Amino acid sequence: MEYPNLLPRFLKYVKVNTRSDEYSDRFPSTKRQDDFQKQVIMKDLEELGLSDIHYNKKSGCVIAEIPATVDYDVPVMGYLAHVDTADFNAENVKPIVHENYDGKSKIQLGDSDFYLDPEVFPNLRNYKGKTLITTSGDTLLGGDDKCGVAEVVTLAEYLLAHPEIKHGKIRIGFTPDEEIGTGAPRFDVEDFGAEFAFTLDGAAPGKLDWGTFSAATFALDIQGVNVHPSVAKDQMINAIQIGIDFQNQLPSAEVPEKTAGREGFFHLTHFEGTVDNARLEYIIRDFERDGLENRKNLVKEIVAKMNKEFGTERIKLTMRDQYYNMADELAKHMDIVNLAREAYHQEGLNEINEEPIRGGTDGGQLTYRGLPCPNLFSGQENMHGRYEYTVLESMYKAVDVLVRIAELNAEKNK
């Protein structure tokens, strides 16, 4: 069904810069996330009349409750969406609404020289007659995850306006710093108070994520020796070249641009330096825990070998795990996945895409922290850049699914 306030709510949210910052030393990583939570989200929830609205300082989250409309015990469920956006220009976002898209034409992004082209982005062909919301070509849109944020707030609005819909207590939460992986470790599971939850941070309708990559990150800090090139022989040690030599020892085909499906990778995300010093930053992804450990061990072996050849620790390695494949843990809670599957089917989504996501969500970490948390679609497309767009009808369908899951949770526990 249509939800008249969903589009204006989404447009309002995406215009607010809530980009996170992985180099920040504060939590949440940017004050603008705090401001959005306290000045926009909390205000909207208060105007709707939700219960127990509060800002949890420990987790940087706004949490609220949709009261039950049944008089019997139902497992408390939750819905979560993250407020931060990715590492791309998020200042002065100007969303553009394109009604009744013909499913075949290029869409110019504002006055820029950039276009959404179905030849490049074939998913566009699925949306003939639909309403698309795009960027203006110089920023991201922020549908990841303002789609989810707007949908959860819209769900709350709809259920409060329709007390005849039978459901148990529903907790909703809005998390910071998902894009940099530092929000979920601080999430206050006890305060949230749900037995299970769903994140809304997925792509097109029908996508259901209960498997993810396992993930780690590492950085190399390299100390070189800089002398004048005229006397460099047997004295200069070029830190940039050391970084290149390290990179060339990783499997050249195991990078994001050459892998798909269940294939893991090493991804160099940042490289800066001079002859004197350099820094390389990487992420590692693999669907299997053993595969992740093997990749981490390869990195350690290469660093150890190179340092041994130098006779000193020229390369300093720092490494940490980020999250693990939530399928390993959700296998113990398939009733929750089945709840989503049934809701999808009842809402006409008979082709469910359960391919493991080549990424991660807050739900991956929360599942291992005792809050089983599969990920639902929210209608995001082409996330994290100027080509990002969403489809209004996909967002409507996401809210339909949220309502249906809540109803089913009450029906099955009557």
Confidence of residue 364 (pLDDT cuts 50, 70, 90): confident
Q: Of the ranges 52-61, 265-274, 319-328, which one carries the lowest mean pLDDT score?
A: 319-328
* Tokens read off for 13: 């949210």
Options 65, 157, 178, 381, the catalytic residue: 178
- Asked if residues 285 and 215 have their Cβ atoms less than 8 Å apart, the reply is yes
84 is catalytic: yes
Q: What is the pLDDT of residues 111-160, one digit of tens each?
A: 999 999 999 999 999 999 999 999 999 999 999 999 999 999 999 999 99
Q: Which helix (H) or strand (E) holds 16?
A: none
Residue 144 burial by CB count (10 A; 0-12/13-18/19+): exposed, middle or buried?
buried
Alpha-carbon span 380 to 360, nearest angstrom: 15
Contacts of residues 91-94 at CB distance under 8 Å and 24 or more positions apart, as own/partner, are: 91/17, 91/139, 92/17, 92/139, 93/14, 93/15, 93/17, 93/135, 93/136, 93/139, 93/140, 93/141, 93/142, 94/15, 94/135, 94/136, 94/139
Please state, for a pLDDT cut of 70, what percent of the chain lies above it.
Answer: 100
Report the pLDDT value the prediction gives residue 112, as an integer from 0 to 100: 95
290 is catalytic: no
Indicate the CATH number for domain 214-323: 3.30.70.360
User: Hunting for tokens 């990841």 — which residue is that?
Assistant: 144
* Tokens read off for 333: 């809670």
Domain topology for 6-211+325-411 = Aminopeptidase (3.40.630)
Q: What is the pLDDT of residues 215-255, one digit of tens each?
A: 999 999 999 999 999 999 999 999 999 999 999 999 999 99
* Average pLDDT, integer, range 358-372: 88
Alpha-carbon span 214 to 233, nearest angstrom: 44
- Whether 378 shows a pLDDT value over 90: the answer reads yes
Radius of gyration of the CA atoms of the chain, in A: 23
Options 34, 44, 65, 84, the catalytic residue: 84
What residue segments make up the domains of the chain, in order of their start? 6-211+325-411, 214-323
pTM for the predicted model, two decimal places: 0.89
- Whether 109 shows a pLDDT value over 80: the answer reads yes
- Whether 323 shows a pLDDT value over 90: the answer reads no
- Asked if residues 28 and 60 have their Cβ atoms less than 8 Å apart, the reply is yes
> CA dist 353 to 205, 206, 344, 377, Å?
9, 6, 11, 10
Alpha-carbon span 312 to 117, nearest angstrom: 52
